[in-house]
Amino acid sequence: MNTEIKEKTLAYMGPEGSYTEIALEKAIAKYKFEKIEKVMFPSIVQVIEYLDNNNGYGGVVPIENSIEGIVRETVDNLIRTTSRVMIAGEIYVPISHCLISKSKDIGKIDKIHSHPQGLAQCIHYIKRTFPEGAEQIKETSTSEAVKTLINLPPNHAAIGTERAAKLFGLHVLAKNINDEKDNMTRFVYLDSYIPKPTGNDKTSFAFSTCNKPGALVGILQAFNENNINLSYIESRPSKKVFGDYTFFVDFEGHIEDENVQKTIGKIAPLVSYYRFLGSYPKGMK
């Protein structure tokens, strides 16, 4: 991070009270921004498109959850951006869901709102707490679910953050209700620069293989031969030709490292598409 930059326009997915906003606040503290203009959008794709059209702006989006896996909307849209959008850092946020309502009586609740992942991550709690059943209503985000309670009767509840409950003046009926207590989401900080190597870095990029036998095997062998730990690989439809895939990978090291440069040189003849997405310091869990 360029420590001289103190003013920044930062985009994130709202509404207020979301886990993304919590990650954004962590990014502000981490990079020591002093003057911030926050720009809120209702979706991940709008955040990424905004950054792609405004060089030098920053933003935060979720990219991976320890329970649900990769956030496909983030990966798919990052792959389609121009080279001005880079992953410049990562932030880990523990997920601690709360049951929130206007009511103070959990026995009156028969409808529960949340993002589909929020509902899925608390499914055993819901079944145990509401044995006769509670209608599950899907919302665009956990924070939006909490916000909707303002105009709903007290038999409605939402799964969201304690921060959102306080923000909208609602009651927390139960805390830490997610079934997996070690639930965590990794967010990425997006900007238009590549941080300098720290010796403890991660690199992300996307590629498509040439249409010939052994292309993917050859790429994986190149990582192995240069002693690079490939920590994540995910295939995504290219959205161009049925049966064609783009691979998203994370690996240890920085684009300026010698062994990384050697690896890229070896895989270049084996790929038909390549998009470097950033080298950045590993985040603290």
For 245-280, the pLDDT digits (tens) are 899 999 999 999 999 999 999 999 999 999 999 999
- Degrees to nearest 5, angle at CA 171 with 168 and 177: 110
Inform me whether the pLDDT recorded for 2 exceeds 60. no
CATH number belonging to domain 98-174: 3.40.190.10
- Distances in Å between the Cα of 177 and the Cα atoms of 109, 112, 131, 180 are 15, 13, 16, 9
| Structure token pair of residue 9 | 């326009």
pTM for the full predicted model:
0.88
For 180-235, the pLDDT digits (tens) are 988 999 999 999 999 999 999 999 999 999 877 888 999 999 999 999 999 999 99
CB 170 within 8 A of CB 146: yes
Inform me whether the pLDDT recorded for 101 exceeds 70. yes
Level-2 CATH architecture, domain 201-281: 2-Layer Sandwich (3.30)
| Structure token pair of residue 120 | 């899925």
Nearest to 80 by CA among 223, 208, 243: 208
Name residue, tokens 């990014």.
27
Distance, CA of 140 to CA of 121 (rounded, Å): 15
Domain with CATH 3.40.190.10 in the chain: 7-94+183-191, 98-174
Q: Which CATH class is domain 7-94+183-191?
A: alpha beta
Domain with CATH 3.30.70.260 in the chain: 201-281
Name residue, tokens 């360029």.
2
